[in-house]
Amino acid sequence: MPTFIDRVKAGDGRILWLDYVDYAGALLAGGNVPWLDTTASAAWLRKAQGLLRSDVITLPVGRACAAWLEAHPPLREAMRAKPRAVVPTRTLLADDALRSHLAELVRALRGSVPGPSFALVCPSPRAWVAEAYEQAHGCGVDVGEDEADSAALYIADFLRAFGESGIDALLLVESAASEPVTAQDVACYRSALNVAAHYRWDVGLSVPGTRYQGGAAGLDFVVAPQALPGAVAGRVLTVDFWAGAAPPDPAPECFRYATVPANADPERVLERLALLR
C-alpha cells in the first residue's frame, strides 16, 4: 500500500487535498457535521467525497473534540480544575470515552471511503494548549516551549489510540498565534512525531503565514503559502482561486491544498475544481 508521500511523488503535482468540512457541512449537513454519530458522519463523508473527490480525506480532531465537549459538560469542568496552562489539554486528551469515540469515528470514516489517503488533522502542541485552555476557561494563555513540550507528550499518548485505524498521515495545524519560526521551535513536538513515525504515518505541519522558515525539520511535508526547502510541499490555493485566479502549475513532489469556502456556489466550486484535475 503506497504511503501518502509515495502518492504525492507519483502524482506529478496533481494530488489534491481539499478541506471541505465547512462547505460540505453547510451544503449537506445543515451547517452541523454530526461528529458525535459515527454512522451519520460516515454517510455525510460519502456524499461529500462523491461530490468533491479529494485525494485525501480527514478527521479534523479539534472540531470533533469541540462537539464532544459541548455534549459532555463534566469533561469541560474537569479541564478547568487547575489553572496550569497544560491541564486542559492533558485532561481532554486523556478522556477514555473521547478516545474510544474518536477511534470508532476514524474507522467509520476510513471504511466509508477506502480509496483516498486518510489523514488525522490535529492542532499542533502549541495550538492545542491555547485551544483547550480557551475551551476550559474562556480566555487565552501564554504558551512557551515547556508547555508545547508537555502537550506533545500528551498528544503522543493520545495518538496511540489510533495505531491500528488505517491512518496514512498526521497533519499538525498551527494557528496564526502559534506558528513557529525555526526548526528548533518544532523540535519540542518530537514526542508526537516519534509516535507517528512508529506507526509509519507521514507527518506534516500546516502553517497559515510566512513566519515559519524551518524547512522539513523532521517532517515529511509542510502545508504553507510558500514552498519551504527540504520538504514535500502542500501548495495552498488562496481564496483568489475561487474568485477566478489561475491555479499554480503542478510541480514535482508537491500537492495542491485548498479550503473550499463555506458559502461558495456549488456549480462554481465544481467548475474551479475541474481546473485542478
Taking the CA atoms of residue 139, residue 259, residue 67 and residue 37 in that order, the dihedral angle to the nearest 10 degrees is -170
List the grid coordinates of 62: 479539534
Expressed as residue numbers, the domain containing 200 is 4-274
* 44-96 pLDDT per residue, tens: 999 999 999 999 999 999 999 999 999 999 999 999 999 999 999 999 999 99
Residue 58's closest CA among 77, 37, 79, 44? 44
Are the beta carbons of 134 and 89 closer than 8 angstroms?
no
CATH code for the domain in which residue 86 is found: 3.20.20.210
* 173-192 pLDDT per residue, tens: 999 999 889 888 999 999 99
Residue 17's beta-bridge partner residues?
257
Are the beta carbons of 163 and 126 closer than 8 angstroms?
no
List the grid coordinates of 187: 523540535
Give the total number of structural domains in the chain. Answer: 1
